[in-house]
């Protein structure tokens, strides 16, 4: 039986209180963290395709790129140093996310946002002023620290603030902000490439300071989440915050569940060893495999290297940057589709449809490149061919953007109970970063060696992950965080890992004023 389809309906509680404007505003500010990340993801591809930037920092690549006659199209940009500029950020983010998890737990969600914003700001300044490769890389590392903090804290913040019924949509605010950040970066590159004098790349890199300031300033005004306040032992304050964000004094039932979960969490002194215990095997698996798969959709091949890729297949410099803008727009619009459908149709439908669509598009791009460039990487695309490739890439980006993009953050963050949430999120972010780094670092040389086969390589992964979702990922739509264990318990495979007493309802009732 395809047990992945288990949906827990009866278990979902309808807590009182709706989406208050207070929740919306706080979530909007918090989602700015995603802007930081997105701007960085989107900016490096355009910058590394700008002639002056290559001349200044990577003269060898620049010469190779001009040397049309001797080089296979697939290998024009193959340089480990060039990819290190892009990917070093994700290595720093990886290391930072572990520190961020401690800060998030001990000092609250707000503090992590402030730290992230400030280091991001420093990185943007160093990058904009760079005069050598060392400065470029150091700047990228600082940006990485910012991204590590932001990615650790923002999804958790959003899940904790949102009422269960709109948690999906609000959490996707994070991915939405990432895609808007990418699009802004694409537009900025398109504009700065035209600046005469060749210093446009500086503007591109320095403008990252804008989202950094937004997030830093925003974080001073944000309240902490009730869960985080409780986690640090302030019961009354936590309840007041819950009443405030739900817009009703009647929050006893929800608060009791939060309280129970928080008490249970306090018994756990080592969230890291905890998440390794058998009963958290489903969560550990989701927090590792989902981000791994998200990156092995190959999405960042497009996000990092779209301009380079389009140049490789014969687009002109301006057309390449324009094409990146087009994929950026598709990315934002398709993420919106997810916002409006994730709580209506659920996560699994999006995952599965997205997977099939990505698979088809990747295979067709691989076939097109095989036919037009063959193994030797020589050939050209007609206008029609080029338009068709661009169309396929847009359809692929759209599929990613309503499935693995947002769900890659949403599902791992919503399946973890409080006692493992920081650890689970840290694993999610770091796995995402490791593989963002890996794909970022090896793509240009993979393209050089695998040639058109690269697209089949990623298509293979997409097939595997779609099957994985079908069998192993249960539907989490409408399941309050505190009720997740009930859902795992009902799953054909994961059920055996969940002890009976882990299912809430059988928990001890600690508070004297409990009403439910």
Ligand X SMILES: OC[C@H]1O[C@](O)(CO)[C@@H](O)[C@@H]1O
Please report, as ranges, the residues that interact with ligand X according to CB under 6 A. Answer: 41, 175, 178-179, 182, 294, 299-300, 303, 331, 401, 405, 408, 436
User: Which residue bears the tokens 């990146």?
Assistant: 324
Going by C-alpha positions, the residue among 341, 476, 349 that lies closest to residue 417 is 476
Is there a contact between 488 and 416 (Cβ–Cβ < 8 Å)? no
Closest to ligand X by CB, 154 or 209: 154
Q: Is 13 left (phi over 0), alpha (psi -120 to 50) or beta?
A: beta
Smallest separation (angstroms) from ligand X to the CB of 463: 19
Nearest distance from C-beta of residue 411 to ligand X, angstroms: 12
Q: How far is the CB of 171 from ligand X (least distance, A)?
A: 12
Minimum CB–partner distance for residue 71 and ligand X (Å): 28
User: Which regions of 342-420 does DSSP assign to beta strands (E)?
Assistant: none
User: Measured from the CB of residue 409, what is the shortest distance to ligand X in angstroms?
Assistant: 6
CB nearer to ligand X: give 256 or 331. 331
**Residue 309 token pair:** 């890729």
- Residue whose CB is less far from ligand X, 61 or 397: 397
> What is the four-CA torsion angle of 167, 170, 171, 174, rounded to 10 degrees?
180
Nearer to ligand X, 42 or 117 (CB): 42
Which tokens belong to 140?
A: 């990228």
The half-sphere exposure of 12 on its side-chain side, counting CA atoms within 13 A, is 14
Residue nearest to ligand X according to CB distances in the complex: 303
Distance in Å, CB of 48 to ligand X, minimum? 15
Using the minimum distance from each CB to ligand X, give the nearer residue, 90 or 373: 90
Q: Is 39 exposed, middle or buried (0-12, 13-18, 19+ CB in 10 A)?
A: buried
Distance (Å, rounded) from C-alpha 277 to C-alpha 152?
22
Residue closer to ligand X by CB (options 300, 485) is 300
What CA–CA distance (Å, rounded) separates 356 from 396? 10
Q: Residue 189 CB, nearest distance to ligand X (Å)? A: 15
Q: What is the dihedral of CA 240, 410, 182, 123, to 10 degrees?
A: 60
- 162 or 407: CB nearest ligand X: 407
């Amino acid at each position: 039986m395809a047990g992945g389809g288990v949906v827990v309906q009866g278990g979902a509680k309808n807590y009182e209180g709706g989406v208050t404007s207070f929740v919306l505003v706080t979530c909007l500010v918090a989602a700015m963290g995603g802007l930081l990340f997105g701007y960085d993801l989107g900016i490096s591809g355009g910058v590394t395709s700008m002639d002056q930037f290559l001349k200044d920092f990577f003269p060898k690549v620049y010469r190779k790129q001009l040397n049309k006659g001797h080089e296979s199209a697939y290998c024009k940009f193959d340089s480990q140093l060039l990819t290190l500029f892009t990917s070093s950020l994700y290595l720093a983010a990886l290391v930072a996310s572990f520190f961020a998890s401690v800060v998030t737990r001990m000092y609250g969600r707000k503090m992590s946002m402030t730290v992230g914003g400030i280091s991001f700001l420093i990185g943007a300044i160093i990058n904009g002023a760079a005069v050598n490769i060392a400065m470029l890389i150091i700047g990228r590392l600082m940006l990485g620290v910012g991204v590590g903090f932001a990615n650790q804290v923002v999804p958790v913040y959003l899940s904790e603030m949102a009422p269960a019924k709109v948690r999906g949509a609000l959490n996707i605010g994070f991915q939405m902000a990432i895609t808007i950040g990418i699009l802004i970066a694409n537009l900025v590159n398109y504009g700065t490439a035209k600046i005469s004098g060749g210093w446009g790349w500086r503007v591109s890199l320095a403008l990252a300071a804008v989202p950094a300031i937004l997030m830093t300033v925003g974080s001073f005004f944000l309240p902490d989440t009730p869960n985080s306040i409780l986690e640090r032992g302030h019961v009354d304050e936590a309840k007041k915050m819950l009443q405030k964000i739900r817009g009703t004094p009647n929050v006893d039932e929800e608060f009791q569940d939060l309280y129970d979960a928080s008490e249970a969490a306090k018994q756990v002194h080592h969230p890291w060893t905890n998440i390794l215990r058998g009963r958290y095997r489903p969560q550990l698996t989701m927090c590792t495999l989902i981000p791994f798969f998200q990156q092995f959709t190959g999405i960042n091949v497009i996000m990092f290297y779209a301009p380079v890729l389009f140049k490789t297949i014969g687009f002109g410099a301006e057309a390449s940057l324009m094409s990146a803008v087009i994929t950026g727009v598709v990315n934002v619009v398709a993420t919106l589709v997810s916002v409006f459908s994730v709580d209506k149709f659920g996560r699994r439908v999006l995952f599965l449809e997205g997977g099939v669509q990505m698979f088809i598009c990747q295979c067709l791009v691989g076939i097109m490149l095989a036919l037009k460039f063959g193994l030797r990487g020589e050939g050209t695309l007609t206008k029609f061919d080029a338009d068709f490739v661009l169309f396929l890439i847009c359809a692929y980006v759209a599929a990613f953007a309503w499935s693995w993009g947002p769900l890659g953050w949403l599902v791992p963050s919503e399946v973890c109970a409080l006692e493992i949430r920081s650890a689970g999120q840290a694993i999610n972010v770091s796995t995402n970063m490791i593989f963002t780094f890996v794909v970022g670092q090896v793509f240009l040389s993979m393209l050089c060696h695998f040639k058109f086969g690269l697209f089949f390589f990623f298509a293979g992964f997409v097939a595997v992950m779609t099957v994985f979702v079908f069998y192993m990922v249960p539907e989490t739509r409408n399941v309050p965080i505190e009720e997740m264990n009930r859902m795992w318990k009902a799953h054909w495979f994961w059920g055996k890992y969940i002890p009976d007493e882990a299912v809430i309802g059988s928990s001890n009732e600690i508070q004297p004023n409990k009403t439910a």
